[in-house]
């Protein structure tokens, strides 16, 4: 078992270890907002306007909050990781009890590895709000294993323990309500000579009592479940079959490239995969494994197939988490069949290794791609948290184009959405900040599509969508404005600038452009390959044309080596929206990573008409006019220590 623990812990950390760096997000936020108004006792008494009644998850969080006085994203993410590892080990134990050869450990370990690399667990492990699924799975597996102890020892304490685990599984997630069926299936496969069927009725009765209690606790009608029409049930069943036949489903995606519909492609791939496995296990006298795997998966998925809308189900592959216990053993059995073939030893071992790798590696890569999407999304979100921590409680902060969700440019499987969800529009920025840092500021988040650009991934924006006029109102009301910049490899939050409220002073004037724009006291700072140039502008009259600002970095012979061009505030406050007398603090970030070390560079700025490219005339405070209408504002030497920070 020690080797199983080592293998599973390493695999889970490699797949999901990055999740420890994530803040609270998506459903975490509404759960925490609701939970702050509850007590340890009230969680069990009522769902309190929630669409479902799952007190065990909330009890774990509330207990931590009561003991330590604060919620911890690190602890709650860590809890999900720990439960995922424990479930992998429990799956290993389950398979060990179902297999007849005590000297062969590797099929059980392989089953555990297949389970913890279940691709759709990317919606479970990184999201604390999904704790309900690994928690319920853990107690279902414990109920099964303790019932097995009772079955073979006859000691009633094991039966009582199994019933207790079953009850906790129910109040962890209602999806475990068919536990009695899973135990009956276990008895059928595990001990055909001695079946203690009469005790299964206790689990069925417990589930019935719990169901009545569950229905009486729901105060939100949106949680009401109804039987779906035949078309929806069929669509749901095909999607669930996709989860059972995961190793072959990329073939279904290939079929779609030849014109097949998503439903047809998933069905064909599932039929080929499951039909082949059924024949192979039948011929090798292991068809009982197929019955157990498909039966387990089907029992766990039945409520979702029958009661949920298709749109909800394809956006919630996490619902297959418990069912994948059966699927994991099914595909591990295929590998075991290959191992037992009467082939030359080297060929047999290499083939076994190749089949196992074909089952394990693609899902692992899929999970890592989703985790990369999470980490891509969290960069600007974490920057928001850092900005608010440094800000004054009364600061009015405006965040523009924060990512709400990210999706990959290509899909692995025929049906379903494979992106990551981060911010719901129904959750306010105030709730997000309260959950993550325990306080908030008068912050707002908005969407401004005019600056959006296509990327090699799909993304959605958090906040209400505004056009130029309402955006201008929000920018003028804010104490600081931040813009999210999307690029193929990163998503970054940059400080765009602000409208200054303090009066101007002629002593700060550096240059005048076009006779109407005054540059005051420019400053710059440099840290970790990033140069931030802050330009303070004052307009004395209406600015004509569609002007852009350039910030050039010139080497010692005057060659342009880096630059940043944009209208003021990263394009959020173009000059045509300015009013006479406006003073604007305008930031320009420049990447210095491509520049050479130990060289001197000059910063020069100016303005030009973005339509014609013609530069505005520049006049220095002493009356001189630069020949190229570019005003030098400072110089710096880029040292080899790129992490050091300097400023003028």
The Cα 393–Cα 395 span in angstroms is: 6
Q: What is the mean pLDDT of residues 415-433?
A: 92
Is the dihedral angle over the CA atoms 376, 381, 382, 387 positive or is it negative? positive
Is the dihedral angle over the CA atoms 128, 132, 133, 137 positive or is it negative? positive
For residue 196, what pLDDT is reported? 64
334: nearest Cα among 351, 311, 317, 310: 351
pLDDT in tens, 268-289: 999 999 999 999 999 999 999 9
For residue 222, what pLDDT is reported? 46
What whole-number percentage of the chain has pLDDT above 70? 96
Q: Which residues pair with 589 in a beta bridge?
A: 532
Is the dihedral angle over the CA atoms 553, 556, 558, 560 positive or is it negative? negative
Element (DSSP H or E) covering residue 481: strand 480-486
Q: Are strands 547-554 and 403-408 parallel, antiparallel or unpaired?
A: unpaired
For residue 554, what pLDDT is reported? 93
Ramachandran region, residue 558 (left: φ > 0; alpha: ψ -120 to 50; beta: rest): left
**Res 221 pLDDT > 60:** no
For residue 546, what pLDDT is reported? 87
The pTM of this model reads 0.92
409: nearest Cα among 439, 373, 380: 373
pLDDT band (50, 70, 90) for residue 551: very high
User: In terms of C-beta density within 10 A (0-12 exposed, 13-18 middle, 19 or more buried), how is residue 284 classed?
Assistant: middle
- State whether residue 446 is helix, strand or coil: strand
Q: Which residues pair with 527 in a beta bridge?
A: 530, 645
Residue 367's contacts (CB-CB under 8 Å, 6 or more residues apart) are: 15, 16, 117, 119, 121, 122
The Cα 343–Cα 642 span in angstroms is: 59
pLDDT in tens, 151-180: 888 889 999 999 999 999 999 998 899 999
The Cα 5–Cα 9 span in angstroms is: 6
For residue 223, what pLDDT is reported? 47
Range in 85-89, 208-212, 571-575 the model is least confident about: 208-212
Element (DSSP H or E) covering residue 81: helix 73-98
**Res 293 pLDDT > 50:** yes
The Cα 279–Cα 285 span in angstroms is: 10
Q: How many CA atoms lie within 13 A of 602 on its CB side?
A: 13
In angstroms, what CA-CA distances link 100 with 108, 148, 286, 296, 603? Answer: 12, 15, 11, 20, 75
For residue 192, what pLDDT is reported? 56
pLDDT in tens, 337-395: 999 999 999 999 999 999 999 999 999 999 999 999 999 999 999 999 999 999 999 99
């Amino acid at each position: 078992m020690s080797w199983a623990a080592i293998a599973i812990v390493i695999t889970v950390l490699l797949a999901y270890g990055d999740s420890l760096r994530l803040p609270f997000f998506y459903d975490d936020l509404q759960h925490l907002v609701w939970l702050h108004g509850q007590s340890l006792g009230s969680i069990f008494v009522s769902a309190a306007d929630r669409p479902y009644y799952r007190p065990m998850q909330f009890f774990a969080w509330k207990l931590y909050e009561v003991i330590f006085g604060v919620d911890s994203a690190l602890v709650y993410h860590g809890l999900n990781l720990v439960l995922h590892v424990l479930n992998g080990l429990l799956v290993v134990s389950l398979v060990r009890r179902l297999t007849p050869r005590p000297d062969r450990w590797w099929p059980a370990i392989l089953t555990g590895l297949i389970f913890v690399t279940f691709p759709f667990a990317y919606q479970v492990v990184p999201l604390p709000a999904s704790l309900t699924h690994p928690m319920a799975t853990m107690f279902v597996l414990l109920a099964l294993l303790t019932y097995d102890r009772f079955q073979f020892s006859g000691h009633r304490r094991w039966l009582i323990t199994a019933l207790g685990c079953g009850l906790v599984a129910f109040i962890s997630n209602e999806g475990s309500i068919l536990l009695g069926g899973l135990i009956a299936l276990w008895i059928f496969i595990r001990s055909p000579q001695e079946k203690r069927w009469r005790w299964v009725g206790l689990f069925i009765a417990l589930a019935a009592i719990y169901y009545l209690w569950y229905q009486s606790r729901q105060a939100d009608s949106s949680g009401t479940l109804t039987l779906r029409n035949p078309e929806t049930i069929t669509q749901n069943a095909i999607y669930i079959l996709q989860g059972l036949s995961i190793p072959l489903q990329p073939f279904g995606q290939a079929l779609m490239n030849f014109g097949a519909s998503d439903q047809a492609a998933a069905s064909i791939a599932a039929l080929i995969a499951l039909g082949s496995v059924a024949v192979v296990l039948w011929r090798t006298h292991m068809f009982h494994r197929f019955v157990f795997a498909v039966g387990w998966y089907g029992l766990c998925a039945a409520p979702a197939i029958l009661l949920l809308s298709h749109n909800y189900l394809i956006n919630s592959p996490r619902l297959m988490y418990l069912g994948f216990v059966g699927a994991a053993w099914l595909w591990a059995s295929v590998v075991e069949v290959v191992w037992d073939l009467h082939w030359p030893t080297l060929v047999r071992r290499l083939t076994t290794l190749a089949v196992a790798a074909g089952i394990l590696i693609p899902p692992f890569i899929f999970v890592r791609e989703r985790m990369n999407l999470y980490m891509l999304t969290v960069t600007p979100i974490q920057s928001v948290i850092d900005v608010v921590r440094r800000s004054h409680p009364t600061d009015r902060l405006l965040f523009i184009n924060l990512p709400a969700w990210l999706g990959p440019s290509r899909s692995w499987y025929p049906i379903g959405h494979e992106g990551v969800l981060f911010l719901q529009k129904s959750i306010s920025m105030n709730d997000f900040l309260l959950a993550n840092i325990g306080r908030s500021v008068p912050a707002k988040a908005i969407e401004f599509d005019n600056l959006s650009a296509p990327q090699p991934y799909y993304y959605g924006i958090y906040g209400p969508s505004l056009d130029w006029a309402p955006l201008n109102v929000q920018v003028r009301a804010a104490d600081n404005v931040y813009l999210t910049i999307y690029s193929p490899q990163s998503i970054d939050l940059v400080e765009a600038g602000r409208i200054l409220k303090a009066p101007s002073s002629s002593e700060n004037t550096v240059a005048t452009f076009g006779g109407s724009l005054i540059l005051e006291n420019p400053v710059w700072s440099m840290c970790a390959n990033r140069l931030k140039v802050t330009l303070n502008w004052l307009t004395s009259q209406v600015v004509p044309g569609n002007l852009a600002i350039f910030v050039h970095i010139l080497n010692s012979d005057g060659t342009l080596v880096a630059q940043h061009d944009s209208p003021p505030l990263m394009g959020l406050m173009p000059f045509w929206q300015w009013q006479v007398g406006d003073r604007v603090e305008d930031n320009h970030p420049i990447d210095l990573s491509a520049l050479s070390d130990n060289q001197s560079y000059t910063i020069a700025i100016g303005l030009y008409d973005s339509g014609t490219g013609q530069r505005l005339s520049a006049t220095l405070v002493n009356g001189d006019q630069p020949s190229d209408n570019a005003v030098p504002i400072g110089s710096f030497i880029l040292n080899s220590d790129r992490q050091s920070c300097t400023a003028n």
